[in-house]
Amino acid sequence: MPDSHDHMPQTKALTDTFGRQINYLRLSVTDRCDLRCRYCMAEDMVFLPKADVLTLEELYDLSKAFMDRGVRRIRLTGGEPLVRKGILSLIERLGDDVDRGLLDEVTLTTNGTQLPHMAADLYKAGVRRINVSLDTLKPDLFEEISRRNKLAQVLEGIRAAKAAGLEVKINTVALKGMNDGEIPDLMAWCLAEGLDLTLIETMPLGEIDDAREDRYLPLTALLPTLQDRWTLTPSGHRTGGPARYFSVKGHANRLGLITPLTGNFCDGCNRVRVTCTGRIYMCLGQDDHVDLRAALRSDDPEAELEAALGKAMLEKPKGHDFAMQNDRMVGTVGRHMSQTGG
């Protein structure tokens, strides 16, 4: 059956009530993961039944609907997106849309464990850059944070990604009392390896074993330590996400900061998140959502999806509710990051 997507007129762009146009979709393809990072999920996670999860065809249909409404970047997330069976078929279809000019890029965020055997196929499918989550280069600490002994596998995956021609950016969650003392060395390693590094403040998402306040490290407190070692200059570089970048004197690679608690970045928000069950969350830091799966599986998916996305734009808030008050995190939401899409 021919794909009619090429012949469809573009529907009205997704614009919220604050005039922000949504051109970036973070699409979760699974809630499952082969790691159990402490800040992301509990040790004993109960994963979704398969019937609740969108099929690969539904994920593509949803992607098309967003593309028809002005989305130019799609990032696949999880859980761990590369553990989803058949995921390359979805990536290949989105890669074809990049080739046809319907998308600017398809990217993904991964923990790196599947890259040793998948990196070359990702490049062949049309991916050109990826984010790899890596919080430490110390095997014991990696196992403590992720509850799995897979650091060597991740580092092998990063090497495989570079060899395949993928641009790799490292994402590191700054964790007080765990990896805070290592971050300068991690940055030095990234610069030596030709990798951008983005540091992320931990966020109050889901119930976990540790008190989040005990691990919270404001990046404003960490930045001076890095500035003692490198000359950092604010950069206008943007990749479509919330990171604010710094150029590093003497190096081609950059440092990014994502600061939901010390530096709200909501004014320029251009993105929404869709879970693997088809819920669209208009804001990472709020629980309000609209059910797109019901629209997709209805008798009139085109009309129902139009209505659902219109409702989502009306309900997209100006910003999240994350904050620190009296040394406590407020604005907590109940779902885990792995359920939302990283």
This prediction's pTM: 0.86
What phi and psi values does residue 233 have, to the nearest 5 degrees? -125, 125
Q: What is the pLDDT of residues 119-141, one digit of tens each?
A: 999 999 999 999 999 999 999 99
Please tell me whether 324 is known to bind a ligand. no
Residue 72 has pLDDT above 70, yes or no: yes
Q: What is the pLDDT of residues 292-321, one digit of tens each?
A: 999 999 999 999 999 999 999 988 866 545
Please tell me whether 40 is known to bind a ligand. yes
Please tell me whether 75 is known to bind a ligand. yes
- Alpha-carbon torsion angle 32, 74, 321, 291, nearest 10: -70
Containing structural domain, residue 40: 4-340
Please tell me whether 276 is known to bind a ligand. no
Please tell me whether 190 is known to bind a ligand. no
Q: Using the 8-state DSSP alphabet, how is residue 81 labeled?
A: G
Measured distance CA(207)–CA(205) in Å, rounded: 7
| Number of domains comprising the chain | 1
Q: What is the pLDDT of residues 252-267, one digit of tens each?
A: 999 999 886 555 555 6
Please tell me whether 33 is known to bind a ligand. yes
Query: What is the strand order of the sheet 129-133 is part of?
Result: 232-235, 244-248, 254-258, 196-201, 167-174, 129-133, 105-110, 73-77, 24-28, 271-274, 279-281, 289-291
Please tell me whether 203 is known to bind a ligand. yes
Q: Identify the CATH number of the domain in which residue 153 sits.
A: 3.20.20.70
Please tell me whether 39 is known to bind a ligand. yes
Please tell me whether 169 is known to bind a ligand. yes
